[in-house]
Amino acid sequence: MSCTTVLVGKRASNDLSTMIARTDDGYFDVKKLIVVNPDKQPRKYKSVISHLEIELPDNPMRYTSCPSVDKKNGIWAATGINAANVGMTATETITSNPRVLAADPLVRYKKAERRGEKDVAGGIGEEDIVVLVLPYIHTAREGVLRLAELLERYGTYESNGIAFNDENEVWWLETIGGHHWMARRVPDEAVVIAPNQFGMDEFDLNDAFGAQEAHLCSKDLREFIRDNDLDLNQDGVFNPRDVFGSHSDMDHIYNTPRAWFMGRYLTPKSHIWEGPNAEFTPESDFIPWALIPDRKVAAEDVKYLLSSHYQGTEYNPYTSHDTGKRGMYRSIGINRTGVTSICSIRSRVPDEIKGVEWLCFGSTTFSAALPLYANVSKLPKYLTDVSLKASTENFYWGSRLIDALADANYATSIQQIERYQNAVFTMGRQIIHQYDKKMIESGDYTLAGEANEKLCAMAKKQTDETLTKVLHDASTHMKNGYNRADN
């Protein structure tokens, strides 16, 4: 599934939180946000796509989940924060190359072709990973290790990147072929940008096979590289992107331009992104995986990055004049996104309220991001009661309706959209600040549920008002408009 990921280290953020964020770019998947309590977590899991059955531990924690409403292809939980204040987002589909996939083939489901033969189950994938990992981990590093164990045992049928965060650390794992993997701790002062490509461009194998302070990998990774002639590096410098990733023409249209826009936003002073002396262009294969931003990064910045359509450049598909390059690159904020989340684990508040999940349904370009306390036993109906039928009574469909109307009338609607997004950010933060103080002073952390109800009531009011405005605007621009004075 084509997605975009942003990871923010603790000292790169404005409030000493860690953040992991991803657009879940399915095919217009209808999504909802729920809480999975321990008694609702399966003890035996069966994948719809790969037909794999896995016995699960008997001690799951509560966690939030953003599953698909239509279960025909499985759960697809996408993202969540558990009761131990560990966040997870899965997965970012990444690229590989034929050398890797030949050496360690993907593990795909094989249906029996003849009578007497048995179906052969496939490995794990995006459908499964959050459900199999998030309820059982207490730190981001534990998330890497549990997922690694599952990959080595069952394999995977796709190439993916998976993020974990806790109060202090952010980890990023990338799969290599069917069973191999490598993971790196995001530097505290850095922001990682990942646009559907194998991303890591540096990796300390000595640390991975030694102290394991910031690098982890398959136990046989060195032999795997050597025995399959995978090392393309020169001068002894190990760049995993060159070894395990891709450098295709399609990358230059679909993937690298997204990294270019995000890097351009994060480091406008410390790197040159445009002009004849540019260090990086939209089609550069060597845009860094991790950057130290020129200023601290807030949730609003992450949302802006994940809403990008190359605004301010000649590639913007919404520009009013034809630049000759308009719309030539794949935007980050696209129409078929189901959900975008920012899992924020905060440092300077009690454990009971560390986890805040910013949620945005539909196309990020036009939708608003709503903060929610994650450590609750249930969530408001505005988030959970979603069906396949369009309705203004939930955040998902309200967002989708705004998206479709505003996109068709961008020039006249964008001002309303900006006001809407800023209002939800502003009032959302106000409610979080109010309830942080109230809960810390009273010691009653069950008030998080009340706060979430207020947050959703605010979001519904703002969404309904904005929908009314963009609907009116779209109506005035209908092609069958006519006045007697037109004669």
User: Which residues carry out catalysis?
Assistant: 3
Query: Rounded to an integer, what distance in angstroms lies between the CA atom of residue 292 and that of residue 232?
Result: 27
Contacts 24+ apart (CB under 8 A), 385-388: 385/32, 386/30, 386/31, 386/32, 386/69, 387/30, 387/69, 388/30, 388/69, 388/70
What are the structure tokens assigned to 124, written together? 């794990």
Helix (H, G, I), strand (E, B) or coil at 339: strand
Q: Report helix, strand and coil shares of the chain as percent, to nearest 5.
A: 35, 20, 50
Query: Rounded to an integer, what distance in angstroms lies between the CA atom of residue 359 and that of residue 370?
Result: 5
Token pair 């129409």 in the structure block, residue: 335
Q: What does the buried/exposed string (b/e) look like for 176-195 if buried means 16 or more CB atoms within 10 Å of the residue's CB?
A: bbbbbbbbbbbbbebbbbbb
Q: Are 62 and 37 in contact (CB under 8 A)?
A: yes
**CA 131 to chain centroid:** 16
Cα 419-425-430 angle, rounded to 5 deg: 120
Query: Rounded to an integer, what distance in angstroms lies between the CA atom of residue 120 and that of residue 95?
Result: 25
Q: What is the CA radius of gyration of the chain?
A: 23
Helix (H, G, I), strand (E, B) or coil at 442: helix
- Containing H/E element for 402? helix 395-408
Please report, as a single letter, which amino acid is at residue 286: F
Helix (H, G, I), strand (E, B) or coil at 373: strand
Q: Considering only CA atoms, which of 145, 136, 185 is closest in space to residue 165?
A: 185
Strand partners, 360: 340
Interstrand relation of 4-8 and 79-81 (parallel, antiparallel or unpaired)? unpaired
Q: Considering only CA atoms, which of 438, 422, 424 is closest in space to residue 395?
A: 424
Sign (positive or negative) of CA dihedral 215, 217, 222, 224: negative
- In this structure, the number of other CB atoms found within 10 A of the CB of residue 444 comes to 12
Query: Rounded to an integer, what distance in angstroms lies between the CA atom of residue 372 and that of residue 459?
Result: 11
Q: What is the DSSP string of 420-477?
A: HHHHHHHHHHHHHHHHHHHHHHH--TTHHHHHHHHHHHHHHHHHHHHHHHHHHHHHHT
